[in-house]
Chain A
Amino acid sequence: MYNKVVMDHFRNPRNVGVIEDADGVGEVGNPLCGDMMTIYLRIDENRIADIKFQTFGCGSAIAVSSMLTEIAQGKSLEEAKKITNKDVAKALEGLPKNKLHCSNLGADALQMAIKNYEDRLAGIEPPETVREEPHEHSHGDKCYCPYCDIELDDDVIFCDACQSSLEEEH
Protein backbone atom coordinates (compact mmCIF):
# COMPACT_ATOMS: atom_id res chain seq x y z
CA MET A 1 0.00 0.00 0.00
CA TYR A 2 2.70 2.48 1.01
CA ASN A 3 6.14 2.88 -0.53
CA LYS A 4 9.41 2.31 1.35
CA VAL A 5 10.01 5.97 2.19
CA VAL A 6 6.53 6.33 3.69
CA MET A 7 6.89 3.11 5.67
CA ASP A 8 10.31 4.20 6.97
CA HIS A 9 8.90 7.49 8.26
CA PHE A 10 5.89 5.68 9.69
CA ARG A 11 8.01 3.08 11.48
CA ASN A 12 10.68 5.53 12.63
CA PRO A 13 9.03 8.90 12.82
CA ARG A 14 11.45 11.81 13.23
CA ASN A 15 10.92 14.68 15.67
CA VAL A 16 8.00 13.24 17.61
CA GLY A 17 6.95 15.11 20.69
CA VAL A 18 6.01 18.38 22.29
CA ILE A 19 8.12 21.54 22.68
CA GLU A 20 7.33 23.01 26.07
CA ASP A 21 6.69 26.76 25.78
CA ALA A 22 6.85 26.55 22.01
CA ASP A 23 7.08 29.81 20.09
CA GLY A 24 4.40 28.69 17.68
CA VAL A 25 1.83 25.91 17.65
CA GLY A 26 -0.28 24.85 14.69
CA GLU A 27 -3.07 22.33 14.79
CA VAL A 28 -5.03 20.95 11.90
CA GLY A 29 -7.44 18.14 11.93
CA ASN A 30 -10.38 16.57 10.36
CA PRO A 31 -12.01 14.24 12.84
CA LEU A 32 -14.38 13.02 10.13
CA CYS A 33 -11.46 11.65 8.17
CA GLY A 34 -9.62 11.02 11.36
CA ASP A 35 -6.28 12.69 11.01
CA MET A 36 -5.16 15.39 13.39
CA MET A 37 -1.72 16.99 13.60
CA THR A 38 -0.05 19.41 15.95
CA ILE A 39 3.20 21.12 15.03
CA TYR A 40 5.37 22.83 17.65
CA LEU A 41 8.07 25.36 16.70
CA ARG A 42 10.96 26.96 18.48
CA ILE A 43 12.12 29.96 16.51
CA ASP A 44 15.56 31.42 16.82
CA GLU A 45 16.57 34.47 14.73
CA ASN A 46 13.78 33.86 12.23
CA ARG A 47 14.80 30.26 11.78
CA ILE A 48 13.12 27.04 12.82
CA ALA A 49 15.53 25.99 15.51
CA ASP A 50 13.41 23.05 16.59
CA ILE A 51 10.26 21.43 15.33
CA LYS A 52 8.21 18.60 16.82
CA PHE A 53 4.92 16.98 15.98
CA GLN A 54 2.13 14.91 17.39
CA THR A 55 -0.25 13.10 15.11
CA PHE A 56 -3.38 11.04 15.44
CA GLY A 57 -3.80 9.28 12.16
CA CYS A 58 -3.04 6.59 9.69
CA GLY A 59 0.32 5.48 8.39
CA SER A 60 0.50 8.23 5.80
CA ALA A 61 -0.48 10.94 8.28
CA ILE A 62 2.36 9.96 10.60
CA ALA A 63 4.82 9.72 7.69
CA VAL A 64 3.71 13.14 6.38
CA SER A 65 4.25 14.75 9.78
CA SER A 66 7.66 13.19 10.15
CA MET A 67 8.79 14.18 6.66
CA LEU A 68 7.48 17.70 7.09
CA THR A 69 9.54 18.20 10.23
CA GLU A 70 12.65 17.01 8.40
CA ILE A 71 12.03 19.43 5.54
CA ALA A 72 11.28 22.37 7.82
CA GLN A 73 14.04 21.84 10.38
CA GLY A 74 16.59 24.67 10.19
CA LYS A 75 14.76 26.59 7.48
CA SER A 76 14.25 30.34 7.69
CA LEU A 77 10.63 31.36 8.17
CA GLU A 78 10.58 32.79 4.66
CA GLU A 79 11.72 29.45 3.26
CA ALA A 80 9.40 27.47 5.51
CA LYS A 81 6.40 29.50 4.37
CA LYS A 82 6.93 28.15 0.89
CA ILE A 83 6.62 24.50 1.96
CA THR A 84 3.41 22.97 0.61
CA ASN A 85 1.62 19.70 1.17
CA LYS A 86 2.63 18.77 -2.33
CA ASP A 87 6.31 19.19 -1.43
CA VAL A 88 5.86 16.79 1.47
CA ALA A 89 4.10 14.18 -0.68
CA LYS A 90 6.85 14.54 -3.27
CA ALA A 91 9.59 14.07 -0.66
CA LEU A 92 7.79 10.91 0.44
CA GLU A 93 7.97 9.77 -3.19
CA GLY A 94 4.22 9.71 -3.42
CA LEU A 95 1.17 8.83 -1.34
CA PRO A 96 -1.88 6.78 -2.30
CA LYS A 97 -4.13 9.14 -4.23
CA ASN A 98 -7.04 8.76 -1.86
CA LYS A 99 -4.83 9.81 1.04
CA LEU A 100 -3.94 13.15 -0.51
CA HIS A 101 -7.21 14.61 0.70
CA CYS A 102 -7.12 13.97 4.42
CA SER A 103 -3.68 12.78 5.45
CA ASN A 104 -1.50 15.31 3.74
CA LEU A 105 -2.03 18.17 6.18
CA GLY A 106 1.48 18.59 7.50
CA ALA A 107 2.33 21.78 5.66
CA ASP A 108 -1.01 23.30 6.69
CA ALA A 109 -0.12 22.63 10.32
CA LEU A 110 3.31 24.17 9.79
CA GLN A 111 1.85 27.30 8.22
CA MET A 112 -0.55 27.65 11.12
CA ALA A 113 2.30 27.28 13.59
CA ILE A 114 4.27 30.02 11.79
CA LYS A 115 1.21 32.26 11.76
CA ASN A 116 0.68 31.54 15.44
CA TYR A 117 4.27 32.63 16.11
CA GLU A 118 3.91 35.81 14.05
CA ASP A 119 0.58 36.64 15.68
CA ARG A 120 2.15 36.31 19.09
CA LEU A 121 5.00 38.61 18.04
CA ALA A 122 2.46 41.13 16.78
CA GLY A 123 0.57 40.85 20.02
CA ILE A 124 -2.49 39.27 18.49
CA GLU A 125 -4.24 36.95 20.93
CA PRO A 126 -4.55 33.50 19.45
CA PRO A 127 -8.12 32.25 19.31
CA GLU A 128 -9.28 29.87 22.03
CA THR A 129 -9.01 26.90 19.72
CA VAL A 130 -6.63 26.96 16.83
CA ARG A 131 -7.93 23.79 15.29
CA GLU A 132 -9.48 24.24 11.91
CA GLU A 133 -10.74 21.88 9.33
CA PRO A 134 -9.31 22.91 6.04
CA HIS A 135 -11.23 21.42 3.18
CA GLU A 136 -9.58 23.03 0.22
CA HIS A 137 -7.81 20.84 -2.26
CA SER A 138 -4.39 21.76 -1.14
CA HIS A 139 -2.68 18.86 -2.84
CA GLY A 140 -2.35 20.42 -6.22
CA ASP A 141 -3.99 20.43 -9.55
CA LYS A 142 -5.95 17.20 -9.64
CA CYS A 143 -8.85 15.97 -7.58
CA TYR A 144 -9.62 12.30 -6.97
CA CYS A 145 -12.66 10.54 -5.62
CA PRO A 146 -11.72 9.59 -2.05
CA TYR A 147 -13.77 6.40 -2.39
CA CYS A 148 -12.64 4.94 -5.68
CA ASP A 149 -9.59 6.98 -6.72
CA ILE A 150 -11.06 8.03 -10.06
CA GLU A 151 -9.93 11.47 -11.22
CA LEU A 152 -12.71 14.00 -10.84
CA ASP A 153 -13.55 17.45 -12.06
CA ASP A 154 -13.03 19.88 -9.25
CA ASP A 155 -16.63 20.82 -8.61
CA VAL A 156 -18.60 17.58 -8.91
CA ILE A 157 -20.72 16.46 -5.97
CA PHE A 158 -21.28 12.91 -7.16
CA CYS A 159 -18.82 10.31 -8.39
CA ASP A 160 -20.27 8.64 -11.44
CA ALA A 161 -17.81 5.78 -11.20
CA CYS A 162 -18.66 4.57 -7.71
CA GLN A 163 -21.93 6.41 -7.08
CA SER A 164 -20.62 8.07 -3.94
CA SER A 165 -21.97 11.38 -2.83
CA LEU A 166 -19.11 13.85 -2.50
CA GLU A 167 -21.02 16.70 -0.93
CA GLU A 168 -19.21 16.28 2.37
CA GLU A 169 -15.89 16.44 0.61
CA HIS A 170 -16.48 19.69 -1.21
Chain B
Amino acid sequence: MNIVNLDQISFKPLLPEVKAAMIDAINKDYFNPSSQHKRGEQAAEVLDAARRSVAGMINAAVPKEIVFTAGGTESVNHAIKGVAMANAEKGKHIVISNIEHNAVIRSVRRLKSMGFRVTSVSVDEQGRVNPQDVAEAITDETILVSIMHSNNETGTIQPIEEIGKITRDKKIIFHTDAVDSVGVVPIDVQKLGVDLLSFAANTFHGPPGVGGLYIRRGTRIYPLLDGGVQEHNKRAGTENLIGIIGMGAAAQVASSELDQWVAHCLRLKTKLLAELPDAIEEYIINTHPQHSLPNMVSISVQYIEGESVMLMLDDDDIAVSTRSACATGSLRASHVLISLGLSHADAQGTLVVSFGKDTTDEDITRFLASLKEVVITLRDISPLYNKVARSPA
Protein backbone atom coordinates (compact mmCIF):
# COMPACT_ATOMS: atom_id res chain seq x y z
CA MET B 1 0.00 0.00 0.00
CA ASN B 2 1.18 3.50 -0.73
CA ILE B 3 2.26 5.77 2.07
CA VAL B 4 -0.36 8.43 2.64
CA ASN B 5 1.65 11.61 3.12
CA LEU B 6 -0.27 13.80 5.53
CA ASP B 7 3.00 15.28 6.73
CA GLN B 8 3.47 17.66 3.84
CA ILE B 9 4.69 20.46 6.06
CA SER B 10 7.76 18.24 6.49
CA PHE B 11 8.05 16.89 2.99
CA LYS B 12 6.49 17.71 -0.34
CA PRO B 13 7.69 15.80 -3.40
CA LEU B 14 9.43 17.77 -6.13
CA LEU B 15 7.16 18.79 -9.00
CA PRO B 16 7.93 17.02 -12.30
CA GLU B 17 8.72 20.45 -13.76
CA VAL B 18 11.23 21.03 -10.94
CA LYS B 19 12.93 17.68 -11.49
CA ALA B 20 13.13 18.34 -15.23
CA ALA B 21 14.59 21.82 -14.72
CA MET B 22 17.19 20.58 -12.23
CA ILE B 23 18.23 17.60 -14.34
CA ASP B 24 18.51 19.89 -17.35
CA ALA B 25 20.62 22.29 -15.28
CA ILE B 26 22.93 19.49 -14.21
CA ASN B 27 23.33 18.30 -17.79
CA LYS B 28 24.03 21.78 -19.08
CA ASP B 29 27.11 22.14 -16.86
CA TYR B 30 26.53 25.77 -16.07
CA PHE B 31 29.64 27.71 -15.10
CA ASN B 32 29.95 30.03 -12.14
CA PRO B 33 27.48 32.93 -12.51
CA SER B 34 30.12 35.33 -11.14
CA SER B 35 32.52 34.62 -14.00
CA GLN B 36 32.58 37.22 -16.74
CA HIS B 37 33.21 34.96 -19.69
CA LYS B 38 30.43 33.79 -21.97
CA ARG B 39 29.71 30.59 -20.05
CA GLY B 40 29.60 32.52 -16.80
CA GLU B 41 27.18 35.02 -18.27
CA GLN B 42 24.94 32.18 -19.43
CA ALA B 43 24.80 30.96 -15.87
CA ALA B 44 24.09 34.48 -14.62
CA GLU B 45 21.17 34.67 -17.03
CA VAL B 46 19.49 31.53 -15.72
CA LEU B 47 20.12 32.73 -12.18
CA ASP B 48 18.35 35.98 -13.04
CA ALA B 49 15.47 34.11 -14.65
CA ALA B 50 14.95 32.13 -11.44
CA ARG B 51 15.11 35.36 -9.46
CA ARG B 52 12.44 36.92 -11.67
CA SER B 53 10.13 33.92 -11.18
CA VAL B 54 10.52 34.05 -7.43
CA ALA B 55 10.16 37.84 -7.28
CA GLY B 56 6.99 37.59 -9.37
CA MET B 57 5.48 35.04 -7.03
CA ILE B 58 5.54 37.44 -4.06
CA ASN B 59 5.18 40.65 -6.12
CA ALA B 60 8.57 42.15 -5.26
CA ALA B 61 9.09 45.49 -7.03
CA VAL B 62 12.37 44.37 -8.59
CA PRO B 63 14.04 40.92 -8.74
CA LYS B 64 17.08 42.34 -6.95
CA GLU B 65 15.04 42.38 -3.77
CA ILE B 66 15.27 38.58 -3.65
CA VAL B 67 18.33 37.08 -1.99
CA PHE B 68 18.72 33.33 -2.45
CA THR B 69 19.67 31.47 0.71
CA ALA B 70 20.14 27.91 1.88
CA GLY B 71 16.57 27.71 3.16
CA GLY B 72 14.04 29.25 5.48
CA THR B 73 16.23 29.02 8.55
CA GLU B 74 19.04 30.97 6.94
CA SER B 75 16.60 33.56 5.63
CA VAL B 76 15.19 34.14 9.10
CA ASN B 77 18.64 34.26 10.71
CA HIS B 78 19.78 36.71 8.05
CA ALA B 79 16.76 38.95 8.51
CA ILE B 80 16.98 39.14 12.29
CA LYS B 81 20.72 39.15 12.88
CA GLY B 82 21.41 41.25 9.80
CA VAL B 83 18.97 43.97 10.86
CA ALA B 84 20.16 43.84 14.46
CA MET B 85 23.81 44.25 13.49
CA ALA B 86 23.13 47.02 10.99
CA ASN B 87 20.88 49.03 13.28
CA ALA B 88 22.35 48.46 16.74
CA GLU B 89 23.42 52.09 16.98
CA LYS B 90 19.80 53.20 16.62
CA GLY B 91 18.54 50.85 19.30
CA LYS B 92 18.68 47.36 20.64
CA HIS B 93 15.06 46.38 21.05
CA ILE B 94 13.23 43.73 19.02
CA VAL B 95 9.55 42.73 19.09
CA ILE B 96 8.48 39.17 18.28
CA SER B 97 5.52 36.98 19.22
CA ASN B 98 5.30 34.00 21.58
CA ILE B 99 4.58 31.57 18.77
CA GLU B 100 7.49 32.22 16.43
CA HIS B 101 9.50 29.37 14.96
CA ASN B 102 12.69 28.49 16.80
CA ALA B 103 14.69 30.08 13.97
CA VAL B 104 13.33 33.41 15.24
CA ILE B 105 13.32 32.59 18.94
CA ARG B 106 16.85 31.25 19.00
CA SER B 107 18.13 34.08 16.81
CA VAL B 108 16.84 36.69 19.22
CA ARG B 109 18.06 34.62 22.16
CA ARG B 110 21.52 34.81 20.65
CA LEU B 111 21.15 38.58 20.26
CA LYS B 112 20.03 38.89 23.87
CA SER B 113 23.40 37.59 24.97
CA MET B 114 24.86 40.46 22.94
CA GLY B 115 22.88 43.14 24.77
CA PHE B 116 19.65 43.26 22.75
CA ARG B 117 16.30 43.37 24.52
CA VAL B 118 13.33 41.40 23.26
CA THR B 119 9.62 41.83 23.85
CA SER B 120 7.52 38.82 22.94
CA VAL B 121 3.81 39.54 22.54
CA SER B 122 1.29 36.86 23.39
CA VAL B 123 -1.51 35.50 21.21
CA ASP B 124 -5.20 35.12 21.90
CA GLU B 125 -6.72 31.68 22.53
CA GLN B 126 -7.22 31.31 18.79
CA GLY B 127 -3.53 31.81 18.23
CA ARG B 128 -3.50 35.32 16.76
CA VAL B 129 -1.39 38.32 17.66
CA ASN B 130 -3.29 41.52 18.41
CA PRO B 131 -1.67 44.27 16.28
CA GLN B 132 -2.39 46.72 19.08
CA ASP B 133 -0.11 44.68 21.37
CA VAL B 134 2.67 45.04 18.82
CA ALA B 135 2.09 48.80 18.65
CA GLU B 136 2.30 49.01 22.44
CA ALA B 137 5.45 46.90 22.60
CA ILE B 138 7.32 49.26 20.29
CA THR B 139 9.62 51.72 22.04
CA ASP B 140 12.03 54.42 20.84
CA GLU B 141 14.71 51.74 20.95
CA THR B 142 12.86 49.27 18.71
CA ILE B 143 14.67 48.47 15.47
CA LEU B 144 12.83 45.37 14.31
CA VAL B 145 9.45 43.69 14.52
CA SER B 146 9.33 40.05 13.46
CA ILE B 147 5.95 38.31 13.40
CA MET B 148 5.37 35.13 11.43
CA HIS B 149 2.89 35.08 8.56
CA SER B 150 1.47 31.66 9.40
CA ASN B 151 2.30 29.38 12.25
CA ASN B 152 4.09 26.17 11.40
CA GLU B 153 2.25 24.14 14.04
CA THR B 154 -1.31 25.40 13.71
CA GLY B 155 -1.45 27.04 10.28
CA THR B 156 -3.04 30.11 11.82
CA ILE B 157 -2.39 33.27 9.79
CA GLN B 158 -1.39 36.48 11.58
CA PRO B 159 -2.73 39.98 10.83
CA ILE B 160 0.45 40.98 8.98
CA GLU B 161 -1.15 43.79 6.95
CA GLU B 162 -2.36 45.55 10.10
CA ILE B 163 1.01 45.15 11.78
CA GLY B 164 2.69 46.39 8.59
CA LYS B 165 0.70 49.61 8.81
CA ILE B 166 1.92 50.14 12.36
CA THR B 167 5.57 49.48 11.57
CA ARG B 168 5.46 51.70 8.48
CA ASP B 169 3.90 54.46 10.49
CA LYS B 170 6.60 54.16 13.13
CA LYS B 171 9.35 53.58 10.54
CA ILE B 172 10.46 50.31 12.06
CA ILE B 173 11.78 47.43 9.99
CA PHE B 174 9.24 44.62 9.76
CA HIS B 175 10.15 41.00 9.01
CA THR B 176 7.70 38.18 8.55
CA ASP B 177 8.63 34.51 8.58
CA ALA B 178 6.44 33.30 5.72
CA VAL B 179 8.17 29.96 5.32
CA ASP B 180 4.92 28.01 5.63
CA SER B 181 2.88 30.47 3.56
CA VAL B 182 4.76 31.28 0.36
CA GLY B 183 3.58 28.87 -2.30
CA VAL B 184 0.64 27.77 -0.15
CA VAL B 185 -1.43 30.97 -0.12
CA PRO B 186 -1.05 34.10 -2.28
CA ILE B 187 1.59 36.41 -0.83
CA ASP B 188 2.04 40.01 -1.93
CA VAL B 189 4.81 41.90 -0.15
CA GLN B 190 3.32 45.24 -1.25
CA LYS B 191 -0.04 44.45 0.29
CA LEU B 192 1.52 43.06 3.46
CA GLY B 193 3.74 46.10 3.92
CA VAL B 194 6.72 44.06 5.08
CA ASP B 195 10.37 45.01 4.62
CA LEU B 196 11.69 41.48 4.90
CA LEU B 197 10.03 38.17 4.18
CA SER B 198 11.54 34.71 4.60
CA PHE B 199 10.49 31.73 2.53
CA ALA B 200 11.67 28.31 1.41
CA ALA B 201 11.46 26.34 -1.84
CA ASN B 202 10.41 23.06 -0.26
CA THR B 203 7.13 24.63 0.89
CA PHE B 204 6.02 24.71 -2.75
CA HIS B 205 7.45 21.47 -4.11
CA GLY B 206 10.91 22.89 -4.77
CA PRO B 207 14.16 21.41 -3.48
CA PRO B 208 14.99 21.52 0.24
CA GLY B 209 18.06 23.54 1.16
CA VAL B 210 17.08 26.51 -1.02
CA GLY B 211 15.20 29.53 0.18
CA GLY B 212 14.88 33.21 -0.25
CA LEU B 213 14.83 36.42 1.71
CA TYR B 214 12.89 39.33 0.31
CA ILE B 215 14.66 42.57 1.25
CA ARG B 216 12.75 45.73 0.34
CA ARG B 217 15.00 48.32 -1.32
CA GLY B 218 16.44 50.69 1.24
CA THR B 219 16.21 48.31 4.19
CA ARG B 220 19.28 48.59 6.38
CA ILE B 221 20.65 45.08 6.82
CA TYR B 222 24.05 43.42 6.96
CA PRO B 223 24.83 40.11 5.29
CA LEU B 224 24.88 37.05 7.49
CA LEU B 225 27.70 35.58 5.42
CA ASP B 226 30.62 37.81 4.50
CA GLY B 227 32.84 37.12 1.53
CA GLY B 228 32.24 37.71 -2.15
CA VAL B 229 29.81 40.04 -3.86
CA GLN B 230 27.22 37.43 -4.85
CA GLU B 231 23.52 38.17 -4.43
CA HIS B 232 24.11 41.90 -4.84
CA ASN B 233 26.48 41.95 -1.91
CA LYS B 234 23.88 40.54 0.43
CA ARG B 235 24.88 36.88 0.61
CA ALA B 236 28.42 35.81 -0.11
CA GLY B 237 29.26 32.41 -1.53
CA THR B 238 28.95 30.74 -4.90
CA GLU B 239 25.28 30.29 -5.65
CA ASN B 240 23.57 26.90 -5.41
CA LEU B 241 22.58 27.33 -9.04
CA ILE B 242 20.94 23.93 -9.56
CA GLY B 243 18.86 24.34 -6.44
CA ILE B 244 17.95 27.90 -7.36
CA ILE B 245 16.87 26.80 -10.83
CA GLY B 246 14.67 24.21 -9.13
CA MET B 247 13.20 26.89 -6.91
CA GLY B 248 12.57 29.13 -9.92
CA ALA B 249 10.74 26.32 -11.71
CA ALA B 250 8.67 25.60 -8.60
CA ALA B 251 7.81 29.29 -8.25
CA GLN B 252 6.63 29.41 -11.84
CA VAL B 253 4.29 26.45 -11.43
CA ALA B 254 3.10 27.67 -8.04
CA SER B 255 2.32 31.11 -9.44
CA SER B 256 0.09 29.71 -12.15
CA GLU B 257 -1.52 26.86 -10.19
CA LEU B 258 -1.81 28.32 -6.71
CA ASP B 259 -5.53 29.08 -6.94
CA GLN B 260 -6.25 25.44 -7.82
CA TRP B 261 -3.98 24.17 -5.03
CA VAL B 262 -5.71 26.40 -2.49
CA ALA B 263 -9.18 25.31 -3.61
CA HIS B 264 -8.20 21.63 -3.55
CA CYS B 265 -6.63 21.82 -0.09
CA LEU B 266 -9.51 23.84 1.32
CA ARG B 267 -11.96 21.21 0.17
CA LEU B 268 -9.92 18.47 1.87
CA LYS B 269 -9.56 20.52 5.04
CA THR B 270 -13.32 21.06 5.14
CA LYS B 271 -13.90 17.35 4.61
CA LEU B 272 -11.44 16.41 7.35
CA LEU B 273 -12.98 18.79 9.87
CA ALA B 274 -16.52 17.75 8.93
CA GLU B 275 -15.84 14.01 9.25
CA LEU B 276 -13.54 14.09 12.27
CA PRO B 277 -16.43 14.02 14.79
CA ASP B 278 -17.59 10.72 13.26
CA ALA B 279 -14.18 9.19 13.92
CA ILE B 280 -13.22 10.47 17.36
CA GLU B 281 -14.59 12.38 20.30
CA GLU B 282 -12.94 14.78 22.71
CA TYR B 283 -10.40 16.69 20.73
CA ILE B 284 -9.37 20.31 20.28
CA ILE B 285 -8.78 22.02 16.94
CA ASN B 286 -5.88 24.47 17.29
CA THR B 287 -6.20 25.89 13.80
CA HIS B 288 -8.06 29.18 13.40
CA PRO B 289 -11.48 28.60 11.76
CA GLN B 290 -11.05 31.47 9.27
CA HIS B 291 -7.54 32.88 9.36
CA SER B 292 -5.51 29.80 8.55
CA LEU B 293 -3.63 27.99 5.82
CA PRO B 294 -5.73 25.69 3.63
CA ASN B 295 -3.28 22.80 3.86
CA MET B 296 -3.07 21.86 7.52
CA VAL B 297 -5.03 21.16 10.67
CA SER B 298 -3.71 20.84 14.21
CA ILE B 299 -5.70 18.42 16.33
CA SER B 300 -5.14 17.76 20.03
CA VAL B 301 -6.59 14.37 20.82
CA GLN B 302 -7.27 14.37 24.53
CA TYR B 303 -6.03 11.73 27.01
CA ILE B 304 -3.46 10.21 24.67
CA GLU B 305 0.00 11.12 23.53
CA GLY B 306 0.92 12.21 20.03
CA GLU B 307 4.05 10.19 19.41
CA SER B 308 2.16 6.97 20.12
CA VAL B 309 -0.55 8.03 17.70
CA MET B 310 2.03 8.91 15.07
CA LEU B 311 3.81 5.55 15.43
CA MET B 312 0.57 3.58 15.22
CA LEU B 313 -0.62 5.54 12.16
CA ASP B 314 2.79 4.83 10.67
CA ASP B 315 2.09 1.11 11.06
CA ASP B 316 -0.93 1.77 8.83
CA ASP B 317 1.34 3.59 6.33
CA ILE B 318 -0.03 7.00 7.17
CA ALA B 319 2.52 9.74 7.86
CA VAL B 320 1.53 12.64 10.10
CA SER B 321 3.55 14.82 12.39
CA THR B 322 3.04 15.33 16.10
CA ARG B 323 3.76 18.23 18.39
CA SER B 324 4.08 16.01 21.41
CA ALA B 325 7.08 16.95 23.52
CA CYS B 326 8.25 13.35 23.38
CA ALA B 327 8.55 13.35 19.64
CA THR B 328 10.08 16.71 18.95
CA GLY B 329 13.46 15.92 20.39
CA SER B 330 13.19 18.89 22.69
CA LEU B 331 11.07 16.88 25.14
CA ARG B 332 9.30 20.05 26.03
CA ALA B 333 5.68 20.81 25.27
CA SER B 334 5.27 23.01 22.22
CA HIS B 335 5.58 26.68 23.15
CA VAL B 336 2.99 27.44 20.48
CA LEU B 337 0.35 25.16 21.96
CA ILE B 338 1.04 26.29 25.51
CA SER B 339 0.71 29.89 24.28
CA LEU B 340 -2.76 29.01 22.99
CA GLY B 341 -3.67 28.05 26.54
CA LEU B 342 -3.58 24.28 26.09
CA SER B 343 -2.71 22.17 29.12
CA HIS B 344 0.51 20.19 28.92
CA ALA B 345 -1.47 16.95 28.70
CA ASP B 346 -3.63 18.21 25.82
CA ALA B 347 -0.58 19.62 24.04
CA GLN B 348 0.96 16.14 24.27
CA GLY B 349 -1.79 14.67 22.13
CA THR B 350 -1.34 17.02 19.23
CA LEU B 351 -1.16 15.88 15.63
CA VAL B 352 -0.45 18.10 12.68
CA VAL B 353 -2.19 16.78 9.58
CA SER B 354 -0.96 18.52 6.45
CA PHE B 355 -1.75 17.82 2.85
CA GLY B 356 -1.08 19.04 -0.65
CA LYS B 357 -2.21 19.24 -4.21
CA ASP B 358 -1.91 15.46 -4.72
CA THR B 359 -3.74 14.43 -1.56
CA THR B 360 -6.99 12.62 -2.34
CA ASP B 361 -10.35 12.24 -0.61
CA GLU B 362 -9.43 8.59 -0.16
CA ASP B 363 -6.30 9.61 1.78
CA ILE B 364 -8.40 11.62 4.23
CA THR B 365 -10.88 8.75 4.57
CA ARG B 366 -8.08 6.27 5.25
CA PHE B 367 -6.55 8.58 7.84
CA LEU B 368 -9.83 9.00 9.68
CA ALA B 369 -10.52 5.26 9.72
CA SER B 370 -7.06 4.52 11.04
CA LEU B 371 -7.14 7.35 13.57
CA LYS B 372 -10.41 6.03 14.97
CA GLU B 373 -8.84 2.64 15.75
CA VAL B 374 -5.61 4.09 17.11
CA VAL B 375 -7.43 6.44 19.46
CA ILE B 376 -9.54 3.57 20.84
CA THR B 377 -6.41 1.45 21.40
CA LEU B 378 -4.45 4.19 23.14
CA ARG B 379 -7.34 5.42 25.26
CA ASP B 380 -7.77 1.84 26.49
CA ILE B 381 -4.22 2.07 27.81
CA SER B 382 -4.47 5.62 29.11
CA PRO B 383 -5.00 6.26 32.83
CA LEU B 384 -6.18 9.78 32.00
CA TYR B 385 -9.08 8.62 29.88
CA ASN B 386 -10.42 6.48 32.74
CA LYS B 387 -9.85 9.14 35.34
CA VAL B 388 -10.77 12.36 33.69
CA ALA B 389 -13.25 11.38 31.07
CA ARG B 390 -15.00 8.39 32.52
CA SER B 391 -15.50 9.40 36.12
CA PRO B 392 -19.16 10.21 36.71
CA ALA B 393 -19.83 13.90 37.07
Q: Which residues of A contact B (CB under 8 A)?
A: 7, 10-11, 13, 16, 18, 27, 31-38, 54-62, 98-99, 101-103, 146-147, 163-164
Contacts and interface: CB of A to CB of B under 8 A. Distances in A.
Contacts of B315: 11
B329 interface: yes
Interface of B: 106, 109, 303-305, 307-308, 311-312, 315, 324-327, 329-333, 343-345, 348, 380-384, 386
A147 B330 contact: yes
**Which of A7, A11, A34, A62 is most buried by chain B, counting CB atoms within 10 A of its CB?**
A34
A170 to B, nearest CB: 14
Contact of A98 (B305, B308, B331, B333): B331
A86 to B, nearest CB: 19
B311 A10 contact: yes
A31 B381 contact: no
B170 to A, nearest CB: 32
Contacts of A59: 307-308, 311, 326
Contacts of A18: 386
A10 B345 contact: no
Given A32-B344, A34-B324, A58 B382 contact: no
B303 A58 contact: no
Given A16-B381, A34-B324, A102-B331, A56 B311 contact: no
B308 A62 contact: yes
Contacts of A10: 308, 311
B386 A57 contact: no
Contacts of B312: 11
Nearest to B344: A31
A146 B329 CA distance: 8
Contacts of A11: 312, 315
A57 B383 CA distance: 10
B283 to A, nearest CB: 15
Given A59-B326, A147-B330, 16 more contacts: A10-B311, A11-B312, A11-B315, A32-B333, A33-B331, A35-B305, A36-B383, A54-B382, A54-B386, A56-B304, A59-B308, A62-B308, A62-B381, A146-B330, A147-B331, A164-B330
Contacts of B331: 33, 98, 101-102, 146-147
Nearest to A34: B348
Nearest to A54: B383
Given A34-B326, A34-B333, A13 B307 contact: no
Contacts of A61: 305, 326
B329 A56 contact: no
B326 A55 contact: no
B325 A54 contact: no
B326 A56 contact: no
A38 B383 contact: yes
Contacts of B344: 31-32, 34
A34 B345 contact: yes
B329 A57 contact: no
Contacts of B327: 58
B326 A99 contact: yes
Contacts of A38: 383
A35 B383 contact: no
B343 to A, nearest CB: 8
A163 B332 CA distance: 15
A54 B326 contact: no
Contacts of B106: 163
Contacts of A146: 330-331
11 contacts: A27-B383, A32-B332, A34-B344, A36-B384, A38-B383, A55-B382, A56-B348, A56-B383, A61-B326, A102-B331, A146-B330
B330 A54 contact: no
B216 to A, nearest CB: 31
Contact of B383 (A37, A102, A164): A37
Given A56-B345, A58-B305, A33 B381 contact: no
A25 B312 CA distance: 28
A169 to B, nearest CB: 9
Contact of B303 (A32, A56, A147, A164): A56
Nearest to A16: B381
A146 B331 CA distance: 7
**Which of A7, A33, A37 is most buried by chain B, counting CB atoms within 10 A of its CB?**
A33
